[in-house]
Amino acid sequence: MKPTDYHVWMSASKTTVGTLAILLESEGKLDLEKPITYYAKELAGTAWDKVSVKNALNMASGLDLEETTAAFSDPNSWIEQYFASLFDIEGTGDGWIEVMRRVKPIEGEEPGDRFRYSTAITQALVLAIESATGQAYKDVFNEKIWSQVGVHNQFMVGLASDYHAVGGGLVNTTIEDALKYAMMYTPSWNVVSDKRVITPEILERIRTLGDPKAYQGCEEEAYSLEWTGEKGERNSAQWDHVWADGAMFKHGNMHQGIYVDADRDFVAFVFSNTPNERSDKAPGFMRAVAKKAADQ
């Protein structure tokens, strides 16, 4: 890649949605205890009514929408139908919002009980953010964060078939600008910005919003051990893993990744085209380097 080339973040994009939500909460524009359908009215009158904004941020919806290998292997699974609708540019089926309205709750499971990863939840949050602000997601992110960072290039995000932003996976930037975004979470924020957007209070809210009990035994907990040799303590605010020392990691399809260890003032960002069937070693290297650098 050339330094000026754009690359897709895939699900590392989800950190932008989670952080926006926490910023809006701090401004009194988003109440995390309200049902997500209070804002995302497109989903009102469905199983989403029982899902709070907080539980959506922590991907503990209690809905049958988890992205698993088994679900992706079944063309009739809800998640396969969802992704087909999200990018159905020919308009041959129901729109993605209509598919989201049909998702069912998991019997015996309540919202908040268990971390079940799904891009559909992030897209519900995009709808909520747009409703709470009266602005498009890309404009809110640009106003609150991107315009505050000393980036060299524009922020771009891919669109769904109905032109809604896919904030859950299609952010595109250069690697330099991605790293500058990551630095906004650290004590070195002033190297890339004149304004501290992510204050210590905002950062702590992002790191601790999740419930460790909902993370225990989930599929992502196993990934944290596989990728880094250490189990995370929780997931939180759209980040896949938060360790006990406060370091955070968000993975993306084909091995994208953002790692933020604010207490060690360390960040890393990986762009990759690696096939998913290969084990991702980058998170382990990121974590090891952060610890080693802090010891010197």
Residue 238 CA to residue 14 CA, distance in Å, equals 6
Structural domain includes residue 44: yes
DSSP 3-state assignment of 240? Answer: strand
Vertex 104 angle, CA 277 and 9, to 5°: 35
Q: Would you state the structure tokens that stand for residue 255, as one six-digit string?
A: 């091995």
Structural domain includes residue 1: no
Nearest Cα neighbor of 14 from 162, 141, 100 is 141
Looking at residues 178-188, what average pLDDT do you find? 99
Averaged pLDDT of the chain: 96
Residue 150 CA to residue 8 CA, distance in Å, equals 20
The pLDDT of residue 93: 76
Structural domain includes residue 247: yes
Structural domain includes residue 85: yes
The pLDDT of residue 98: 96
If you count them, how many residues does the chain have? 296
Vertex 192 angle, CA 9 and 267, to 5°: 50
- Tell me which of 71-75, 106-110, 203-207, 292-296 is least confident: 292-296
Structural domain includes residue 228: yes
pLDDT at 248 over 70: yes
Q: Which residue has the tokens 């069937």?
A: 277
pLDDT digits (tens, 9 = 90+) for 57-108: 999 999 999 999 899 999 999 999 999 999 987 777 789 999 999 999 999 9
User: The pTM is what?
Assistant: 0.96
The pLDDT of residue 296: 56
Structural domain includes residue 2: no
The pLDDT of residue 90: 75
Count of structural domains, the chain: 1
pLDDT digits (tens, 9 = 90+) for 207-225: 999 999 999 999 999 999 9
Q: Domain range spanning residue 260?
A: 7-295
Residue 51 CA to residue 227 CA, distance in Å, equals 30
| Residue 282, amino acid | A
User: What CATH number corresponds to the domain at position 86?
Assistant: 3.40.710.10
Residue 196 CA to residue 185 CA, distance in Å, equals 9
Structural domain includes residue 170: yes
Structural domain includes residue 47: yes
